[in-house]
Chain A
Amino acid sequence: MGGEVFRRLIFLPVTLFFVATLVFLALRALPGSSIELLGSQFTTAGLKEQLIADLGLDKSIWEQYGIFLGELVRFDLGRSFLTGKDVSSMVGETLPVTIELAVASLVVMTIAGIGMGLLAGAFPGTLADGLLRTVSVLLFSLPWFWFGIVLIIVFVLWLGWFPAFGRLPSSVDYEAVTNFVLIDAIILGRFDLVVPWLKHVTLPALTVGLTTSGVLMRLTRVGVIETAKTDYIRTARMKGVPGPRVFFRHILRNVALGILTVIGVQFGAMLGGSVIAEVVFGYPGIGRMTVDAVLNRDYAVAQGGAIVIAAFYVLINLATDLSYRWADPRLRRGGR
């Protein structure tokens, strides 16, 4: 198992190299450069050339690529040419925001998906099962941004229960330490941050969590139904184990293994989903940072954001696989 982790970790830089190359080339392929977008703002004649030289845009694309990779190897993500800020510190600020949102979405997805799945799987073929399956189809066929906008219309504009934009009200004074609100709330004793944050995170988390819960619901349902048919569940019933105990101790434990993988894969997908939710809800995470940077042709920021998201995605999948191996005795303790 140690060897497996090692092998997977070796492939991480390879994956990242491909992601970096792809992002680099894709950005260059977009029409219009950062300089052109600034366009008329240059008043002094020499300033434009100065900036082009500073950014290295006068060099050939392959030279730029070489420099980019060289910096990447030294973990130098460069600077934003718009704000001059260090991309690493921008990532440091925005990544926790996204992780926070993704975890909140995961909680929503897990509760909604597994809850609906268990209910439907325990009583297959009933009216409740039919209703829940219809709901799940609706949920996973909804476009995320559309669902987000509907939530804004209903809960923000009509009911006024939740704020629509941002992560915390602008009135709140928050000096970040880790930039995870809940962790900082404990470190700084700022428990007044929790409720406003929850209000802000609810709608984006519902958008991402509910739209992804449909898949989880179906898998949980099928898992429960299939497991209930297995020989070892028949054995459990033949032992005289009461129905609820068969369900929770035997069926659920075995279904949980399958669900765990799905949750892990979905968590990775949620990082992607967060990009959309962040844009719709004006949520200041790494997704929105990257999208903004692409629109502004702020190459260094866009590249840095994409690479960090990719690295995170790979690491989460690795963690999921490992946790699965640990949870399933057949994988944890190989053959005889």
Chain B
Amino acid sequence: MTGPLVQIENLTVRYPLGGGLGARGVLGLAPTNLEVQRGELLAIVGESGSGKTTLGRAMLRLIPAEGAIHFDGTEIIGLGRRELAQMRSRMQMIFQDPYSSLNPQKTVGRTLSEVLAHVGIPRAERRARAEELLSQVGLGADAYPRLPRAFSGGQRQRIAIARALATGPDLVVADEPVSALDVSVQAQVVNLLLDLKAERGLTMVFISHDLGLVSAIADRIGVMYFGRLVEIGPAARLSRSPAHPYTALLNDSMPPPSVAAARATLEAAAQTGAVELPSLMDPPRGCPFAPRCGHASASCRETPPALHPHPAGGLVACHHPLNTD
């Protein structure tokens, strides 16, 4: 098979407002086009309210969405319940909070066996398969009979990863999989994901707020702002020469662990004005980043920029992209 594993066309999510009669909708995700190539690690980066989680969930049809999602050639938005259930085993999600994503009443073994049963593994083989999965994520077989509360946050996230792998997926969407973990444990879980991805030839969408982390591990990075994809391209290019002013702001906002560089970051942050996201109820006509942008012109406030190719690679939605030479 060739071509992208996932191809998304005009994927749009509207959240109902107020509910019930006469409800209006707000755009949680503006119409988005995106391809996820086979075997790549695509990172989706954004701050709260950027729509990154919405995109991840809509991609797996976990929330209602409009548009089209072609997964390995099959359009899944139009699929019925039964066909969707079959496709689901090929795409899995890992959530941020390892404490609420595991059922506290079920042993690790039971959680895994249920998933294995769901994909048709015969009863006799389930235990062996589950123990194999546990060892693959760096936990011993002794984890099998225990309840989630016996494990630390990092270990729980390993269990969640084992559960996601149990169906033998082609695509794993990991939504902030390490941000609830201690710094020294984060890298361990990221390494595990990288190893598993390499071993199994997985395609991975890694959703994160941490541009520094994903710059190190991703093949491509997509940056989201206010429900829109504003830039997407090779990871190295985005971190070295960002094209969208918002990507540049994200890049410059994280103080690195070095005194001189971190103090410079702080100086810059002190100069920037108050941070306000536009209102979802009353979205701006032009570019949503324009009110915070040092490069904004009249056209930015009037016309929303569409994604177009950037000379250094990737796509950017900006009327005045940076680093064009």
Residues on A facing B (Cβ under 8 Å): 3, 7, 336
Instruction: Sample 7 A-B pairs with CB under 8 A, ordered by A number.
Output: A3-B18, A3-B20, A3-B21, A3-B22, A7-B20, A7-B21, A336-B279
- Closest B residue to A334 by CB, please name it: B18
Q: How far is the CA of A3 from the CA of B17 in the complex (A)?
A: 12
Q: How far is the CA of A336 from the CA of B279 in the complex (A)?
A: 8
Residues of A within 8 A of B22 (CB): 3
Q: How many A-B residue pairs have CB under 8 A?
A: 7
CB distance from B4 to the nearest CB of A (A): 37
Residues of A within 8 A of B18 (CB): 3
Interface string of B3-34 (1 = CB under 8 A from A): 00000000000000010111000000000000
- Closest B residue to A7 by CB, please name it: B20
Q: How far is the CA of A21 from the CA of B271 in the complex (A)?
A: 70
Residues of B within 8 A of A7 (CB): 20-21
- Closest A residue to B21 by CB, please name it: A7
CB distance from B284 to the nearest CB of A (A): 16
Q: How far is the CA of A336 from the CA of B276 in the complex (A)?
A: 11
Q: How far is the CA of A7 from the CA of B21 in the complex (A)?
A: 8
Interface string of B227-271 (1 = CB under 8 A from A): 000000000000000000000000000000000000000000000
CB distance from B97 to the nearest CB of A (A): 18
Residues of A within 8 A of B20 (CB): 3, 7
CB distance from B49 to the nearest CB of A (A): 11
Residues on B facing A (Cβ under 8 Å): 18, 20-22, 279
- Closest A residue to B23 by CB, please name it: A3
Q: How far is the CA of A3 from the CA of B279 in the complex (A)?
A: 22
Residues of B within 8 A of A336 (CB): 279
Q: How far is the CA of A21 from the CA of B188 in the complex (A)?
A: 64
Q: How far is the CA of A3 from the CA of B21 in the complex (A)?
A: 9
- Closest B residue to A10 by CB, please name it: B21
CB distance from B19 to the nearest CB of A (A): 9
- Closest A residue to B22 by CB, please name it: A3
CB distance from A30 to the nearest CB of B (A): 38
Q: How far is the CA of A235 from the CA of B134 in the complex (A)?
A: 43
Residues of A within 8 A of B279 (CB): 336
- Closest A residue to B18 by CB, please name it: A3
CB distance from A204 to the nearest CB of B (A): 40
Residues of B within 8 A of A3 (CB): 18, 20-22
Q: How far is the CA of A274 from the CA of B22 in the complex (A)?
A: 40
Q: How far is the CA of A3 from the CA of B23 in the complex (A)?
A: 10
Q: How far is the CA of A87 from the CA of B21 in the complex (A)?
A: 36
CB distance from B17 to the nearest CB of A (A): 10
Q: How far is the CA of A78 from the CA of B99 in the complex (A)?
A: 60
CB distance from B180 to the nearest CB of A (A): 18
- Closest A residue to B279 by CB, please name it: A336
CB distance from B39 to the nearest CB of A (A): 41
Q: How far is the CA of A7 from the CA of B20 in the complex (A)?
A: 8
Q: How far is the CA of A7 from the CA of B23 in the complex (A)?
A: 12
Q: How far is the CA of A3 from the CA of B22 in the complex (A)?
A: 9
- Closest B residue to A336 by CB, please name it: B279
Residues of A within 8 A of B21 (CB): 3, 7
The list of the 7 closest CB pairs from A to B, nearest first, reads: A7-B20, A7-B21, A3-B18, A3-B22, A3-B21, A3-B20, A336-B279
CB distance from A5 to the nearest CB of B (A): 12
- Closest A residue to B276 by CB, please name it: A336
- Closest B residue to A6 by CB, please name it: B21
CB distance from A335 to the nearest CB of B (A): 9
CB distance from B297 to the nearest CB of A (A): 28
CB distance from A60 to the nearest CB of B (A): 37
Q: How far is the CA of A336 from the CA of B22 in the complex (A)?
A: 21
CB distance from B21 to the nearest CB of A (A): 6
CB distance from A125 to the nearest CB of B (A): 24
CB distance from A4 to the nearest CB of B (A): 8
Q: How far is the CA of A7 from the CA of B19 in the complex (A)?
A: 11
Q: How far is the CA of A225 from the CA of B184 in the complex (A)?
A: 35
CB distance from A262 to the nearest CB of B (A): 24
Q: How far is the CA of A3 from the CA of B19 in the complex (A)?
A: 10
Q: How far is the CA of A336 from the CA of B282 in the complex (A)?
A: 12
CB distance from A65 to the nearest CB of B (A): 30
CB distance from B45 to the nearest CB of A (A): 24
CB distance from A11 to the nearest CB of B (A): 10
Q: How far is the CA of A336 from the CA of B277 in the complex (A)?
A: 11
Q: How far is the CA of A3 from the CA of B18 in the complex (A)?
A: 9
- Closest A residue to B277 by CB, please name it: A336
Q: How far is the CA of A69 from the CA of B306 in the complex (A)?
A: 60
CB distance from B24 to the nearest CB of A (A): 11
Q: How far is the CA of A336 from the CA of B278 in the complex (A)?
A: 11
CB distance from B285 to the nearest CB of A (A): 20
Q: How far is the CA of A188 from the CA of B22 in the complex (A)?
A: 50
CB distance from A1 to the nearest CB of B (A): 10
CB distance from B283 to the nearest CB of A (A): 15
CB distance from B276 to the nearest CB of A (A): 10
CB distance from A175 to the nearest CB of B (A): 48
CB distance from A3 to the nearest CB of B (A): 7
- Closest B residue to A8 by CB, please name it: B20
Q: How far is the CA of A72 from the CA of B18 in the complex (A)?
A: 33
